[in-house]
Structure 1
Amino acid sequence: MKAIASINTVIYTLLTVLYFYQFIYIVIALIGEKRKKKQPEYEPKKLHRFAFIIAARNENAVIGNLIKSIKAQNYPSELIDVVVVADNCTDNTAEIARSCGAIVYERFNKVLVGKGYALDYAFNKIKEDEGDYTAYDGYFIFDADNVIDRNYVREMNKTFDQGYRVVTSYRNSKNFDTNWITSGYSLWFCREAKYLNNPRMILKTSCAVSGTGFLTSSEIIKKNGGWKCNLLTEDIQFSVVNILEGEKIGYCDSAMFYDEQPETFKQSWNQRMRWSKGFYQVMFKYGRELIAMAFKKRQMFVSCYDMFMTLAPATLLSVGCMLLNLIFLVLGAHNFTLFKKVFPVAMESIGFACVSFYLLMFSIGLLTVITEWKKILASPKKKIISLFTFPLFMLTYIPISLVALFKRVEWKPITHCVSKSMEEIELQQQYKQ
């Protein structure tokens, strides 16, 4: 019985040690908030020219609001172009995008399916039309369901102008208050912005791109000959590749955009299944190189270690520990005397793991809700309820991670239907505090 207890202790201690740095991140984020207010605002030396690249597949319900929010930016309009790739569309996404003032390329390819291929198509068309990828200083990558704050480009330009060739931003949600699934996503993304990317930026280590809402220099696109990240999670692959090549990904917390989260468990299951499988793909492809680079170049240790732990399947290690205890229970069932000894140890371990996980996620959610209260688009009641459902949402990653390990996963489109303009979001912010 001591062997079972010892194995459990070793696994839990190992996980605590490996991820302890993220608790340090929390302290840095809270301290850094006070110091940031005392620092003078950076004035950019140049207003750069940008293009927004939007890969859209049957997004006629939402594409117009994103383009309108881009056109309404507090930034010279002649320095912003909007490029939409209507990717295998069977609706009028292309027509709506054109009517809103976007440059539209229509792509029809049923073999090379996915956002990465659509982005590469857009960049190649820009090179063909403009003569070079560097016709723009940088490219914003967005999903069609997003909308952006009026000062988004202005704020991102400040960070870009400081020399960061990849910059990510604050990912908020349009539909936090729909149900426990949307609030679960939303809290995680707010936490990611505030307590992961923010402290990384303070420490001047590398941040990480998360799906959408980021800026990349045209020099990087030119160096790569377009967009070459085509795994199931092209965003995390793009982050890892750039970190390994010595780039420091920046973060601009004053640039906010709003994302739509899946509202049904089926959609959420499919999306997170793709994310989990994509993380495995990136880990298997780049994990060894990240560890090697962390020890090869000391200045890259934190960035490489941090990214490796982001990819590491900690969920599987926890599940493995629980399964080990269940196996001991099954084996002990054939011997009543042995079962009496094994049962309390195994159940105590499983119970401890579940309660600890719930309390940890509750604490993370509580801290995030408190500090990001004014940014969250929901009533006070729904914000409080989300604290209790957030750990349950995170627990659903356990079966998803297990199935993704063995199942073949392909990219599937997510239906977006929350048509909400930036003006509507601003009104919601005023009335739901």
Structure 2
Amino acid sequence: MFLLELLGNSILYAIGVYLLFNCCYLLFFSLAGHKKIKPLQVTVKKNRRICVLIPAYRENEVVLETSRAAMNHQYNGEFDVYVIADGLLPETVSKLKSFGVNVIEVFFEKSTKGKALSTALDQIPANKYDIAAILDVDNIMGSDFLQEVNNAFGAGYRVVQAHRTAKNMDSSFAFLDACNEEINNHIYRKGHFAVGMSSALIGSGMAFGFSYLKDLLKGIGETVGEDKELDFRIVKDQERICYLDKVYVYDEKIENAKVFTQQRTRWIAAQVEFLKKYAGEGVVQLVKHGNFEFFNKVVQAFLVPRVLLIGILGLFFLSSFLLPVGPSPLFWGIQLVMLSAALFIALPARFYKSKQLVQALVQLPYALFCMVKALFQIKKAKTSFLSTPHKVKSVSAEVNV
């Protein structure tokens, strides 16, 4: 009996310490996100040549809206728009060309965004552009996006991440997804950049030195998380990723549980993939090379997804009233308070003014169920390209920030 109690205590306290680390990490960077970021010091003032890359996988309607908006973007320098057409209809390709969009058609047995980008860059002359900006097929650039990206390169950066934000919040699930994205922006981008670390990439609304991106994409393979792979490769080079908090790219948010589950399946699969791939190297990079940034990326892969973390802590809190072993309810309750504080501190004030916030919070239990379901589907992400379907949506006035 004593041995069973000892084993139970050891397991539960070990889990408790791990979850406490999750809460401390999130709370620290949530608070750090309120630290003022110093303005960019632009030292080289010129308008660089930019290519805007839009990978499009079977999205015939949305890509027309996105590419038309991209072509109308205002930038003081030269820029061109490229759609990387994977499975687009011939008539869509014709319409894109009529807009003045450059179209690069790609064909893969198994499609991935990383392979599409790599193939496209191989077809564009290396000396034609200074910067490559990447948008998702549903993204709309904010009015000053390219100009501010250019300024960041003038300040010496080779990788830039803009503030991706919702262009639609027309359902409670879309509002919840928008909240989640803003919390991610605050903790993993603004919070890290404010304390002198690299922002995390988010997959779109980002820009790279053209030749540098070409090098980064070499051997990208069939990973389901090309942005995370780029993250690791960049910090291994000890390049700092700039975050432009006031420069926006508008992104369509998930409207229903089915698409939410599909998207989270891909994200969790990517997290597991990179934890396995880089866990050992993270320790080597820290101890041998002093590369804390690389180690930090491994730590991020080690964290529990936040919606799951809420559910797990809630479960342990309730079960602690019944179990004769393990930490007390106070221990789990403090962690729930810490996690709640981290999330509420990270959420922008404008979301608290919306009546949809309560409706979105009601969706949390269902979102938790979807996350659990996604855990059991991660093998699917390895065998098929789980692209997120999109609809044609304009940028809502209520989300302009």
Q: Counterparts of 1:280 and 1:408 in 2: how far apart (Å)?
A: 11
Deviation, structure 1 residue 391: 6.8
C-alpha contact (below 8 Å) 1:365/1:387 kept by paired residues: no
Q: Deviations over 1:260-307 (max 9, x none)?
A: 123222222122112211221222222211221022223x21x12321
- Structure 2 letter corresponding to 1:16: L
1:29 aligns with 2:27: no
1:84 aligns with 2:77: no
Deviation, structure 1 residue 405: 6.6
Deviation, structure 1 residue 123: 0.8
Tell me the equivalent position of 1:165. Answer: 158
1:308 aligns with 2:298: yes
Q: Counterparts of 1:313 and 1:28 in 2: how far apart (Å)?
A: 18
Correspondence for 2:257 among 265, 268, 289: 265
Tell me the equivalent position of 2:323. Answer: 345
- Structure 2 letter corresponding to 1:31: K
Q: Counterparts of 1:391 and 1:24 in 2: how far apart (Å)?
A: 26
When the two chains are superposed, the root-mean-square deviation of aligned CA atoms in Å is 3.6
Tell me the equivalent position of 2:378. Answer: 404
TM-score by length of 2: 0.84
C-alpha contact (below 8 Å) 2:252/2:390 kept by paired residues: yes
SS in 2 for 1:295: helix
C-alpha contact (below 8 Å) 2:114/2:220 kept by paired residues: yes
Q: Deviations over 1:11-60 (max 9, x none)?
A: 21233236524322222221326xx5xx5875751211110111112223
Q: Counterparts of 2:64 and 2:349 in 1: how far apart (Å)?
A: 28
In structure 2, stretches of 5+ residues that fail to align are none
Tell me the equivalent position of 1:102. Answer: 101
In structure 1, stretches of 5+ residues that fail to align are 330-341
Correspondence for 1:192 among 170, 174, 184: 184
- Structure 2 letter corresponding to 1:100: F
C-alpha contact (below 8 Å) 1:187/1:390 kept by paired residues: no
- Structure 1 letter corresponding to 2:129: Y
Q: Counterparts of 2:202 and 2:119 in 1: how far apart (Å)?
A: 21
C-alpha contact (below 8 Å) 1:67/1:102 kept by paired residues: yes
Correspondence for 1:16 among 20, 23, 26: 20
Deviation, structure 1 residue 400: 2.2
Bigger mean CA deviation after superposition, 184-193 or 387-396: 387-396
Pick 1 or 2: higher relative contact order, CA cutoff 8 A, min separation 6: 2
Alpha-carbon distance change, 343 to 42 in structure 1, aligned in 2, over 3 angstroms: closer
SS in 2 for 1:85: strand
Correspondence for 2:269 among 269, 272, 277: 277
- Structure 2 letter corresponding to 1:99: S
Tell me the equivalent position of 2:130. Answer: 137
SS in 2 for 1:195: helix
C-alpha contact (below 8 Å) 1:61/1:417 kept by paired residues: yes
Q: Counterparts of 2:390 and 2:90 in 1: how far apart (Å)?
A: 13
SS in 1 for 2:127: helix
Q: Counterparts of 1:253 and 1:19 in 2: how far apart (Å)?
A: 24
User: Whose helix fraction is larger, Structure 1's or Structure 2's?
Assistant: 1
SS in 2 for 1:309: helix
The percentage of counterpart residues that share the same residue type is 21
Bigger mean CA deviation after superposition, 199-208 or 135-144: 199-208
Alpha-carbon distance change, 115 to 380 in structure 1, aligned in 2, over 3 angstroms: same
Provide the aligned length of Structure 1 versus Structure 2: 393
C-alpha contact (below 8 Å) 2:66/2:139 kept by paired residues: yes
C-alpha contact (below 8 Å) 1:19/1:309 kept by paired residues: no
Q: Counterparts of 1:263 and 1:65 in 2: how far apart (Å)?
A: 19
- Structure 2 letter corresponding to 1:28: A
Bigger mean CA deviation after superposition, 3-12 or 201-210: 3-12
